[in-house]
Structure 1
């Protein structure tokens, strides 16, 4: 494998918490019935479900770093039960219903695991605000309201005065609040899922897959060991193409987040009495995702760049941190002395047509990738359903998963680089009033 995930920054999600359990690196050649590459939400869900269906099988999971410091532990901690964007055509609404069923199934599955294993991850059914900064953009929110009504979903339309009471700022012009979102500490959640795998699953940290030999099943090579198995599951999202050249249907995009220290009592006094909350922007590229956490911290996620080789530099992180400081002063001028204790990056996998890359690649290889956002709930159910599909286990949600379609082919670099940068520039221009 030519490229490995690398973030030259440190996530702040664990700064107030003890170190999660560490698993050893693979240092030998072992045999297994399946090998899973990647200990994110899809990889762990696949391994867990496969282990439950086939308790006599041995499943090996390889992770390049640790589960909690991978992209799965670096996101903003939204477990979303509704699609972000819903089209108006019959086909788009049908697909939105399929997405909703899948997202809610993923959320319910995670809730069951959190309760069963008593995973302390700050699980809170807080809902979500979908916010618009600039006046004159009501068309986007009206369209979303109409779509929610067609899907019989509850929502509230809030104006600036109501948002000031809920969010402590008049930065936002209007918002739609939907109740079907859970907020968590994602690093604690994925660490808890990794620590509670069935006994027939072995998890190996700091064991990146460097190459796969497809002779007589698969042999996956790491720096200090190897796994031989009849079949493998790729849970490496946009970097999967480096393990199987030609698997070019996903691209990696990096997003950046910054987190403040816990606010002091004096700083809190400048805000209305607020419960913890999360908001998403109407323009996901130009706008910012914000959270006020249960431990009195603000999180901002803004700034999206291509990360086609999986690497984010310290210089790129520094630029994102400056943008976050500027935005925070606009949103909360009464907290101008508040700084960020951490700024970090994480990657998401995007596809050209919004469909996932999911299913059987060849006789020995399966994959679940192309999350396109909403990755916690979506990738959890995608991984679990892939295990059912791989062993022929009937599940009514398989039809919903397959109804999402297949990801379109992407061109190679430099054509892909030019196309992605052009698309990002267009979205930033269209959403310039939302910054």
Structure 2
């Protein structure tokens, strides 16, 4: 038996949700339920697993227990990129070594999401806008962009080199030395997508919101206790990302970080004319810890995502977000000095789970207990494909992509705290220092 003492706690300032109409959440669990499958977490992995399990086992009863509400967890707080190619978060280019595997996994996830969005007419600004992967310094051009181009050339992937002036013409800032544009990725409002996925589940899936699991007793059946009810299930899927170690799995293998994002107010017609360039675009930095992720959204706001910090306690407060908002305004002004009157409207915190070796946690972790966690900051595609393939594996459906995800799975061991804190913060400080020119 495991008591879950640390529960998700999210702020109420998520800009992606703030620009959407209100949504009525699903009821919380207030009774004892017997199910074939219990899924913990309604993020991308949990929702994908539920949908695929329902397809494979239409006669089974499937329940999802979500501690918060759809779109308000980490799944609705990211930058809204569905990435289709290997992607470096830090200065490590390790994913390029597994280009073929990652492409197959990412594109299968995008195909799935595209199909669900179209089938259920989910209004979430889903569009194949592609992505700029940009570098500020010549050092990052050589160490990140040039190897990326070499791999894209080798694998015959469509891409375009974008110099400083061309990038300025296309997105409105000459801050970057160069970028590589790839057309296959999608941009989306992640909160709207998450809501739509949650509200279009198959009939044999029941989602309970504001229903955290506070006690977990694995067995035959497993017992999941919530504040007002419980679920007894033959099979359990853990899809809670950085909270997985609280359930007793992947201990000393998961690293939790806070990432802050801001949305500006909508640009005026005069500001849009001054900005020029594409009406929608997305840019990821050569180093996501040091640089900033940016987007121009469908409603003419600018997203700034930066200020990543090690946060094993999975908590941030309003005072921190206020400081971040000031810093995001500074970063915005550096890149768009002609738009100094544009203000920050929303600033929020989301949590990402990383492993030391960039690998996810995937598979059966105990008899009748399955897990798909740790998406290493590419949650929309990695989480989605992880949930789909976990469902396939759990019911014995052969899928060649299972071999791909298992080949890159297995989070590496990390030392316990407080040695962990010292090591991570030292390594993180070095990463920021080494890539300081990308800020």
**Aligned residue-pair number:** 434
For 2:22 and 2:88, locate their aligned partners in 1 and report how far apart those are by CA, in whole Å.
37
Instruction: Map 1:219-298 to 2 at 5 A.
Output: 219-244=223-248, 247-298=251-302
C-alpha spacing 1:380/1:330, structure 2 compared with 1 (3 Å):
same
Please say if 1:95 is aligned against 2:62.
no
Please say if 1:6 is aligned against 2:6.
no
Shift of 1:308: 1.2
C-alpha spacing 1:395/1:327, structure 2 compared with 1 (3 Å):
same
Name the counterpart of 1:26.
Answer: 29
For 1:114 and 1:434, locate their aligned partners in 2 and report how far apart those are by CA, in whole Å.
35
Q: Deviations over 1:269-327 (max 9, x none)?
A: 21124220000000110000000011100000001012212222222212221210110
Partner of residue 173 from structure 1, selected from 177, 180, 191: 177
Q: TM-score, normalised by structure 2?
A: 0.95
Please say if 1:371 is aligned against 2:371.
no
Partner of residue 211 from structure 1, selected from 202, 211, 215: 215
Partner of residue 397 from structure 2, selected from 388, 393, 396: 393
Q: Deviations over 1:148-192 (max 9, x none)?
A: 112211111111110111111111111111111100000000100
Name the counterpart of 2:73.
Answer: 70
Are the equivalent residues in 2 in contact too, given 1:61–1:204 (CA < 8 A)? Answer: yes
Q: Which moved more, 1:407-416 or 1:422-431?
A: 407-416
Secondary structure, counterpart of 2:15 in structure 1: coil
Q: TM-score, normalised by structure 1?
A: 0.96
Name the counterpart of 2:43.
Answer: 40
Name the counterpart of 1:156.
Answer: 160
Q: Which moved more, 1:93-102 or 1:189-198?
A: 93-102
Shift of 1:369: 0.8
Are the equivalent residues in 2 in contact too, given 1:4–1:309 (CA < 8 A)? Answer: no
Partner of residue 108 from structure 1, selected from 106, 111, 116: 111
For 2:306 and 2:350, locate their aligned partners in 1 and report how far apart those are by CA, in whole Å.
11
Name the counterpart of 2:435.
Answer: 431
For 2:139 and 2:291, locate their aligned partners in 1 and report how far apart those are by CA, in whole Å.
16
Secondary structure, counterpart of 2:370 in structure 1: strand
C-alpha spacing 1:162/1:310, structure 2 compared with 1 (3 Å):
same
Q: Deviations over 1:349-404 (max 9, x none)?
A: 10111111000101021100110122111111110110010011111111111111
Secondary structure, counterpart of 1:230 in structure 2: strand
Partner of residue 334 from structure 2, selected from 330, 349, 354: 330
For 1:242 and 1:215, locate their aligned partners in 2 and report how far apart those are by CA, in whole Å.
17
For 2:191 and 2:13, locate their aligned partners in 1 and report how far apart those are by CA, in whole Å.
12
For 2:432 and 2:34, locate their aligned partners in 1 and report how far apart those are by CA, in whole Å.
49
Q: Which sections of structure 1, spanning at least 5 residues, go unmatched? A: none
Q: Deviations over 1:82-138 (max 9, x none)?
A: 01139xxxx965622101100000000000000111101101100100111123432
C-alpha spacing 1:163/1:425, structure 2 compared with 1 (3 Å):
same
C-alpha spacing 1:246/1:335, structure 2 compared with 1 (3 Å):
closer
C-alpha spacing 1:138/1:16, structure 2 compared with 1 (3 Å):
closer
Q: Which sections of structure 2, spanning at least 5 residues, go unmatched? A: none
Name the counterpart of 1:137.
Answer: 140
For 1:73 and 1:405, locate their aligned partners in 2 and report how far apart those are by CA, in whole Å.
24
Partner of residue 59 from structure 1, selected from 44, 57, 62: 62
